[in-house]
Amino acid sequence: MITPQPSPAPRTARFGGLDGLRALAVGLVLCYHLFPSLLPGGFLGVDVFFAMSGFLITSLLLREYEVDGRIRLGVFWRRRARRLLPALGLVLLVSTALALAVGGDLLVGIRQQIAGAVFFVSNWVFIANGADYFARDTPELFRNTWSLAIEEQFYIVLPLLVLLLVRLRSRASRALPLAALGLASAALMVALSQAGADPTRIYFGSDSHTFGLLLGAAMAAVLHRPAAVETADPGALRQLVSGVAAVVGLGVLGWLALTLAEGSPASFQWGFQLATGASLLVVWAVTRPGAWIGRALDAPPLRWVGERSYGIYLWHWPLLLICAAALNADLEWLVAPLTLAATILAAALSYRFVEQPVRRFGLRRSLRLLVRPSDHTPRRRFVAVVLGVVVAVTAPLAVTALVTAPQQSSAAEAIARGQEALERSRQQTDEAEAGDARGEAKAREGSGTGSGAGSGAAAEKQPGAEKAPGAAGSSKTAAEAPPVSPEGRDLVAVGDSVMLASLPELEAVYPGISVDAAVSRGMGAGAEIVTELASQSALRGVLVVGLGTNGPVQPEDLDTIRRAAGTRPLVLVNAHADRDWIPGVNELLTSYAAAHRGVVVADWTGAVTGVPDALAGDDIHPNPSGGEIYAAAVQRALDEVQRPGEAVGFALPRR
């Protein structure tokens, strides 16, 4: 049996309070993902980790230089690899295999995700792919590895910077370059936000989101003192100052977690910066030698969670997606508690039987012990066999997943299907217009050689020359005429990607319908489009508007659309999505229709909710069966249009 040989590490006293702070930070992230309505700003937990990591790693490097007179880069990076890679590898392997078993959209882009995670460039991979950290409808299985990538990129550069800075004599001169870089990163986040950059680019960017790590490093450089001058008894006044500082910092973090909106300009222009400042204040307070607040924060339950926080952070996100995909809508309430329980169990097992052994024995020795379980005690032999079985089962499944992963999500396929239908419709319209133009040209040629009488006869047959229904000589007035059911030629529709995905089914019910639909369109853009169509006299007898999925709706935009529609019936299709603004959007559309004559709501969300297989994996865009439900919801709303004298009180004009 091989005896444990701990890897070299800087000889230093342990910082108090950081395990408890890690527990609070990972708790913020867990709550944000599992119970988003409780802590909308829980994503700030990652920035607490950044501040802690920058401070801790820089302190250890400075202590190593103080003790040994040098910083061994190879040893430092090897320690980082031992700390990060075993748990990461296990998560990637097991989660990919489970995702294959569950199916659906979980494996879309999995090859790029795993490559990004292994080489610690996930954040830039997600930026290049146009991923959205704040979207819950098309999540990547390993989206949470973006922060690990930023940290590891920082760990590659940091010891090189420290090697340069230790040549400077004063602590202030060592800290100044790190602080300057950190402030520049924070300022870049503000500048990008003010310039209207994509929120995910700002959030994932190593350049714009490294200030917590850098400022934590700067604080470590300022506070570092030789161990000989540190005191374990700071006195009552310093204890009070540390306690108050920690409470203030934690209070600010709590307030931000409760109030800061994800992806908002406020979050980028001051929210993350304030959270980083508050985190550094707490780190300073709890790590002071002898600080009682540090001992309090390291209470056994918090310390247990903090020691396993890395594994908890890694496991929770893929397990959340896998549980959500595996459970149907009736069991949706089980997703959060089941994910939480599975996360704690997986992280505890990983910490005990994978992470700690690798840190003690090293990676190569651990692998030898895994493949030669006879060298173990009976208990360790059992663990090695179980781990070997896990790897043997999940590795082939993970390889299969990589080979068979779909190229695009079911939502993207649904949108592409609608886009193809839209292109066909436009092509047919262009061909019809070209045919009309050729017919008019031939008619003009004939009128040039014919008699004037023939020309006059043709003029009498132009559209609109006939007597309108209800004119003199008719037995019924227009008001007495029966309503006319709308046909496709009567309808013009403006919508977003949900309408676009439903286009084939809309055209099947209403052949000839004119549709202008596009991805990521909001009601404000729709109001501009409807106004433009009205100015071109391109609106038909009925206007259908399907917008609201991509953002809140303003009453002024609805007023603009209604004015452009004039006396035409207006159908507003409500929205269905797991997004914060959807309830408000649907409530506004319903109240607006009730308050304005000639406006009705097509209840798309009421019709599609709970219908199996009607929606793509994002639970937003319709599959073909969902498109039929969408078209039927529009049809029911148009049926309301045909009941004059009731709630809507108008009818289509007779053709």
Q: What is the 3-state secondary structure (H, E, C) of 478-541?
A: CCCCCCCCCCHHHEEEEECHHHHHCHHHHHHHCCCCEEEECCCCCHHHHHHHHHHHHHCCCCCC
Could you tell me where in the chain the CATH 3.40.50.1110 domains are found?
412-433+483-641
For 531-586, write each residue's pLDDT tens digit.
999 999 999 999 999 999 988 999 999 999 999 999 999 999 999 998 878 999 99
Q: Which one is predicted more confidently, 232 or 397?
A: 397
**How is the beta sheet containing 514-517 ordered, strand by strand?**
514-517, 491-495, 542-546, 570-573, 599-602
* Contact (Cβ atoms closer than 8 angstroms) between residue 347 and residue 356: no
Q: Give the pLDDT confidence score for residue 138 in this predicted structure.
A: 67
Q: What is the CA radius of gyration of the chain?
A: 32
pTM of the entire structure?
Answer: 0.80
Question: Is the confidence at residue 203, as pLDDT, over 90?
Answer: yes
Q: Angle at CA 8, nearest 5°, toward 391 and 16?
A: 95
Distance CA 626, CA 497 (A): 13
| Domain 412-433+483-641 superfamily per CATH | SGNH hydrolase (3.40.50.1110)
| Mean pLDDT for the stretch of residues 626-648 | 79
Which stretch of 8-12, 246-250, 499-503 has the lowest confidence by average pLDDT? 8-12
Q: How far is CA 632 from CA 271, 606, 650, in A?
A: 45, 12, 21
In this predicted structure, what is the pLDDT of residue 520?
86
How many C-alpha atoms does 541 have within 13 Å on its Cβ side? 18
264 Rama class: left (phi>0) / alpha (psi -120 to 50) / beta: beta
- What would the mean pLDDT of 325-336 be, rounded to a whole number? 85
> In this predicted structure, what is the pLDDT of residue 84?
92
> Residue 2 pLDDT > 80, yes or no?
no
Strand partners, 491: 542
- Residue given tokens 């992470």 in the structure block: 355
More confident residue, 407 or 222: 222
Backbone φ, ψ for residue 2 (5° rounding):
-85, 130
Average pLDDT, the chain: 85
Position 233 scores a pLDDT of 66
| Mean pLDDT for the stretch of residues 374-403 | 82
pLDDT attached to residue 11 = 43
Q: How confident is the model at residue 235 (pLDDT cuts 50, 70, 90)?
A: confident
Check whether 14 has a pLDDT greater than 90: no
Region 424-445: mean pLDDT is 67
Percent of the chain with pLDDT over 70: 83
Distance in angstroms (rounded) separating the CA atoms of residues 163 and 157:
10
* Banded pLDDT at 484 (limits 50, 70, 90): low
